[in-house]
A and B are shown apart, each in its own frame.
Chain A
């Protein structure tokens, strides 16, 4: 009896300790960023594009081009990864192909999920060079799409797998085809999971530096076309931090703060969206 009581105590302490680490590190991350960036915070940082002087000392513009660049990279990439991902995820269900094959495809996706993002960057850079092209928005989008496909596909796949068999039976017994069942019934039931998957992909895409490091290049302007090089928030952080001037380095923390706010906003939006989409879901 005494030993069991002790076990319970130890376990409780471990849980509280782990929670403290998670919450504590979130607070620490925020305070480090705010503390280091405080000296560079200004409205110009949000409303101005960068200039060569931006990397050399105080002032000299802002990060508007990187914010726009990041959104122009992550939003189209997420849209494409979603379109490809939902097709794969719906197709992976046993209504369409044999479980042995779908499990093999799942394994491939899981391996792709684990591939470090720099590898996607190198891969896309190689293709870019093979086509004789230079760093551009286009290849950044391709790299991010490849990075996001396994994430989005597997999360949608998991949420579709959770759809109860009884629901599919209902749809089939009303004379639905496999396609109608997938699109009209399964998709609705899995909607919260699909929304979560998209936003997981978007969050990953917008914050990833390694995959775009070699493919988008850098620029002080907002890109005009798909073939322009562009700045992005994660790469801008790297560029600013690699400068020797502490005034420039502190700008990196402001950029990091904005990136953090964007990712946070995505996760808050995703929570409220998936709450809304549960309205019709059968428990």
Chain B
């Protein structure tokens, strides 16, 4: 965090309230670019809320109020008008907890983003779909049935399809909301490996509730506790030399 130009997302006094429930309290964090940042903390502490505020996805629910600033590429994305929101979201791919492919074929899932944003020829589109599926490690498994419904894939395959679909729109950031928690151990491992590979090209933000996963993959950690940031730091500092007593307690499994 020496060089400020390497900050991908910065929040300043971010507050989020749902139904009079103050979920995030004065969150000030900086997420480094081209690294894997893990947001950890016990259930219900606001991890997912924080993640979904980065691409203004919270707004599709009612009764939510957001204040503060979220700076992405030197712009406060909360200032943007509703018409610009799709462009903000395009910068950030989302991988949700439960794999949620779109109700269409495998091919159409990956091509969806390109189709809505750019007019591409059939050949270009084929190439993009193939490249993205290869990058997500799914090509070999689906190349002969690209036009099958995506719902016929296994959960692990669906999650990799969602990853392929997300990178097909050339995002800068991948927002991952516990992407492995609904998967079997082998699929989970595949996703973890992919995230480690993808962090070279993308900023990855991973919400996780398993400390071990965070320890395995994260470069930078943010510890949230009841909507407040308790501690943030590099993986090394965070695990070996936590400053806050709450972090210590969490690492030792005393609070969860």
Does B bind A? yes
In the complex, residue of chain A having the shortest beta-carbon distance to the beta carbon of B98: A166
Across-interface contacts of B100 in A (CB, < 8 A): 164, 166-167, 169-170, 282
In angstroms, Cα B166 to Cα A165, docked, is: 17
In angstroms, Cα B104 to Cα A191, docked, is: 12
Chain A 84-109 interface residues, beta-carbon cutoff 8 Å to B: 94-95, 98-99
- Asked whether A189 lies within 8 Å of B96 as measured between CB atoms, the reply is no
Across-interface contacts of A184 in B (CB, < 8 A): 112, 116
B255 within 8 A of A: no
- Asked whether A170 lies within 8 Å of B162 as measured between CB atoms, the reply is yes
Contact with A along B8-33 (1 / 0, CB 8 A): 00000000000000000000000000
A177 to chain B, nearest CB (A): 5
- Contact for A174 among B62, B90, B96, B150, CB less than 8 A: B90
B105 within 8 A of A: yes
A260 within 8 A of B: no
Contacts A98-B62, A166-B96, A169-B60 given; indicate if A174 touches B104 (C-beta within 8 A).
no
Contacts A166-B98, A166-B100 given; indicate if A173 touches B57 (C-beta within 8 A).
yes
Contacts A169-B60, A170-B162 given; indicate if A188 touches B104 (C-beta within 8 A).
yes
Chain B 94-108 interface residues, beta-carbon cutoff 8 Å to A: 94, 96, 98, 100-105
* Contact-residue bracket for chain A: 20 to 34
- Contact for B87 among A99, A166, A175, A279, CB less than 8 A: A175
Contacts A167-B100, A169-B94, A282-B100 given; indicate if A176 touches B116 (C-beta within 8 A).
yes
Across-interface contacts of A99 in B (CB, < 8 A): 62
Across-interface contacts of B156 in A (CB, < 8 A): none
B89 within 8 A of A: yes
- Contact for B103 among A167, A175, A177, CB less than 8 A: A167
In angstroms, Cα B151 to Cα A135, docked, is: 51
In angstroms, Cα B113 to Cα A184, docked, is: 11
* A-B CB proximity, top 7 nearest: A175-B90, A173-B94, A166-B100, A188-B103, A175-B86, A174-B113, A189-B103
A56 within 8 A of B: no
* Contact-residue bracket for chain B: 20 to 34
Known: A165-B60, A166-B98, A173-B92. 17 other contacts (CB 8 A): A98-B62, A164-B100, A167-B103, A169-B60, A170-B165, A171-B112, A172-B89, A173-B89, A173-B166, A173-B175, A174-B89, A175-B117, A184-B112, A184-B116, A188-B103, A280-B103, A280-B105
- Asked whether A280 lies within 8 Å of B57 as measured between CB atoms, the reply is no
B180 within 8 A of A: no
- Asked whether B102 lies within 8 Å of A175 as measured between CB atoms, the reply is no
In angstroms, Cα B126 to Cα A196, docked, is: 35
Most A CB contacts (10 A, CB to CB) among B61, B90, B100 go to B100
In the complex, residue of chain B having the shortest beta-carbon distance to the beta carbon of A170: B100
A33 within 8 A of B: no
Most B CB contacts (10 A, CB to CB) among A173, A180, A280 go to A173
Contacts A280-B103, A282-B103 given; indicate if A175 touches B98 (C-beta within 8 A).
no
Please list 26 pairs of residues, one from A and one from B, whose beta carbons are closer than 8 Å in the complex, sorted by A's number: A95-B60, A166-B96, A167-B103, A168-B60, A169-B60, A169-B100, A170-B96, A170-B100, A170-B101, A171-B102, A172-B57, A172-B86, A173-B92, A173-B94, A174-B89, A174-B90, A174-B113, A175-B87, A175-B89, A180-B116, A188-B102, A188-B104, A279-B149, A280-B103, A280-B150, A282-B100
B207 within 8 A of A: no
A221 to chain B, nearest CB (A): 47
Most B CB contacts (10 A, CB to CB) among A166, A167, A169 go to A169
B227 within 8 A of A: no
A283 within 8 A of B: yes
In angstroms, Cα B98 to Cα A102, docked, is: 29
Contact with A along B175-206 (1 / 0, CB 8 A): 10000000000000000000000000000000
A281 within 8 A of B: yes
Contacts A99-B62, A175-B90, A175-B116 given; indicate if A169 touches B150 (C-beta within 8 A).
no
A185 within 8 A of B: yes
Contacts A94-B62, A99-B62, A189-B103 given; indicate if A170 touches B94 (C-beta within 8 A).
yes
- Contact for B93 among A98, A166, A173, CB less than 8 A: A173
B184 to chain A, nearest CB (A): 18
Chain A 148-194 interface residues, beta-carbon cutoff 8 Å to B: 164-177, 180, 184-185, 188-189, 191
Most B CB contacts (10 A, CB to CB) among A94, A95, A174, A184 go to A174
Across-interface contacts of B166 in A (CB, < 8 A): 173-174
In the complex, residue of chain B having the shortest beta-carbon distance to the beta carbon of A100: B62
Chain A 172-225 interface residues, beta-carbon cutoff 8 Å to B: 172-177, 180, 184-185, 188-189, 191
